[in-house]
């Protein structure tokens, strides 16, 4: 996909939040219905949210150009975030209104954040697991049938075979090794060149097809679960009468009053720095894997494939070595990042109860500043 278009639509969708989030909050505050002022919005929005989420990760196979895929992404991404605002702003406002007890609210948000982290972890791991399972049965991945001429076939028709140490390895595993040898030496062997080109094209089509299938299945699963969870929430939760009796001030004076609030103004730079740091970590991870770890440069790895010597030569053709791929390291990094977040939450909860919220908050920010500073020493 066209990266410039994707970056533009991502910025556009998130820019809308600056306007739509406070407007949605004000509209929800002003709403009075028999079902409350929060629940009607997320029960309506969840259907559009799920539909846009599924569409976002299920582009038609007919979209082959990078620009067309980027436009598909942009259209559904913008609408997705509009439904996200419509549903999740009232949803987030509902939590603090469920109880006036601060301990109960702390517990509520702890469990909400914990399961949120687990959901993110499942979302990161899900496509990887599905990709592995979907590859075997995918019609686009039958490269043996699509490209039947291997080195042995080439030899049978009198095509000379380049000098190689891998000729003694059992077929069909060493077929890809032969292509690697040709690419490395720049040799050209009649018949084998075409086979290698066919193989490369087939594997590319296979990777794309499996990725589409895996991400689409993940989107259907999470979209469906989002609808189910919102329906359960709508049925099971009742809004407190005290919150329904509250009146919402006009939106513009309310926003201006917020900007005059000294504690809010004092915390605003810290929030901006926090979000900047989190965004930088997420952005740096792919670059760190690609340019610092550089999995393809490991001696045992050859273009992300199983090394010719020193590993199991009887392995099935094209079996991948997971640790030779950037995608594996990226997934591992995300799992570690989110896993650390999940595991640390009970610790911060205990520290809050022991030392109080303010001291724990200061300790958290100090820890964040120190750990973020360590990124400067990454080489």
Rg (CA), the chain: 27
- State the DSSP H helix or E strand holding residue 342, giving kind and residue range, or none if neither: helix 326-355
Domain match, 266 and 241 both: no
Domain match, 88 and 232 both: yes
Determine the Cα–Cα distance for residues 271 and 366; give it in Å rounded to an integer.
14
Determine the Cα–Cα distance for residues 93 and 46; give it in Å rounded to an integer.
16
pTM of the predicted model, to two decimals? 0.72
Q: Which of 192, 227, 249 is the C-terminal boundary of a domain?
A: 249
Q: Is 6 a domain residue? A: yes
Return phi, psi of residue 150, to 5°. Answer: -105, -175
**325, two tokens:** 């791929």
Q: Give me the residues of the chain with pLDDT under 50, please.
A: 153-154, 156-174, 303-320
Determine the Cα–Cα distance for residues 116 and 47; give it in Å rounded to an integer.
20
Scan for tokens 């200061």, then name that residue: 362
Task: Please check whether residue 109 is in contact with residue 95, taking contact to mean a CB–CB distance below 8 angstroms.
Answer: yes
- How many residues belong to the chain? 379
Which tens digits make up the pLDDT trace of 3-35?
Answer: 667 777 777 887 888 788 888 988 898 888 888
- Contacts with 208 (C-beta within 8 Å, 6 or more apart), sequence order: none
From first CA to last CA, the distance across the chain in angstroms is 30
Task: Please check whether residue 218 is in contact with residue 126, taking contact to mean a CB–CB distance below 8 angstroms.
Answer: yes
Q: Is 265 a domain residue? A: yes
Determine the Cα–Cα distance for residues 324 and 326; give it in Å rounded to an integer.
7
Domain match, 231 and 277 both: no
**Cα–Cα distances in angstroms (integers) from residue 253 to residues 19, 118, 249, 263, in the given order:** 15, 39, 7, 18
Determine the Cα–Cα distance for residues 76 and 294; give it in Å rounded to an integer.
34
Count other Cβ atoms within 10 Å, centred on residue 13.
19
Domains in the chain, number:
2
Which tens digits make up the pLDDT trace of 85-108?
Answer: 999 999 988 888 888 888 888 888
CATH number at residue 50: 1.20.1250
Domain match, 231 and 113 both: yes
What angle do helix axes 251-259 and 3-30 make, rounded to 10 degrees? Answer: 110
Domain match, 17 and 122 both: yes
Determine the Cα–Cα distance for residues 26 and 252; give it in Å rounded to an integer.
10
How many helical (H) and strand (E) elements, i.e. helices and strands, does the chain have?
A: 13, 2
What domain range includes position 375?
261-379
């Amino acid at each position: 996909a066209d990266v410039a278009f994707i970056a533009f639509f991502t910025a556009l969708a998130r820019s809308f939040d600056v306007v739509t989030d406070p407007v949605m909050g004000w509209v929800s505050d002003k709403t009075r219905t028999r079902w409350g002022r929060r629940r009607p919005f997320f029960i309506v929005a969840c259907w559009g949210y799920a539909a846009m989420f599924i569409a976002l990760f299920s582009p038609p196979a007919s979209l082959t150009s990078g620009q067309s895929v980027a436009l598909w992404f942009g259209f559904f991404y913008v609408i997705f975030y509009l439904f996200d605002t419509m549903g999740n702003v009232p949803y987030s406002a509902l939590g603090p209104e469920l109880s006036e007890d601060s301990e109960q609210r702390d517990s509520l948000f702890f469990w909400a954040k914990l399961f949120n982290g687990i959901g993110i972890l499942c979302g990161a791991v899900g496509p990887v697991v599905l990709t592995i399972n979907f590859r075997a049965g995918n019609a686009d991945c039958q490269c043996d049938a699509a490209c039947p001429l291997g080195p042995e076939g080439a030899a049978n028709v009198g095509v000379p075979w380049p000098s190689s140490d891998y000729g003694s390895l059992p077929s069909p595993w060493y077929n890809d090794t032969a292509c690697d040898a040709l690419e490395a030496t720049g040799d050209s062997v009649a018949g084998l060149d075409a086979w290698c080109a066919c193989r490369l094209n087939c594997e590319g089509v296979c990777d794309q097809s499996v990725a589409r299938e895996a991400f689409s299945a993940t989107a259907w699963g999470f979209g469906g679960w989002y609808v189910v969870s919102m329906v359960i929430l709508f049925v099971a939760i009742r809004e407190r009468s005290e919150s329904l009796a509250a009146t919402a001030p006009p939106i513009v004076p309310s926003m201006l009053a917020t900007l005059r609030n000294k504690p809010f103004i004092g915390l605003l730079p810290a929030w901006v720095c926090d979000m900047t740091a989190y965004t930088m970590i997420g952005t740096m991870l792919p670059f760190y894997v690609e340019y610092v770890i550089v999995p393809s440069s490991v001696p045992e790895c050859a273009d992300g494939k199983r090394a010719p010597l020193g590993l199991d030569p009887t392995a099935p053709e094209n079996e991948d070595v997971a640790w030779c791929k950037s995608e594996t390291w990226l997934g591992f990094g995300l799992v570690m990042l989110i896993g650390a977040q999940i595991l640390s939450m009970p610790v911060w909860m205990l520290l809050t109860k022991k030392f109080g919220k303010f001291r724990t908050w200061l300790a958290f920010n100090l820890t964040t500043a120190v750990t973020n500073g360590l990124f400067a020493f990454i080489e």
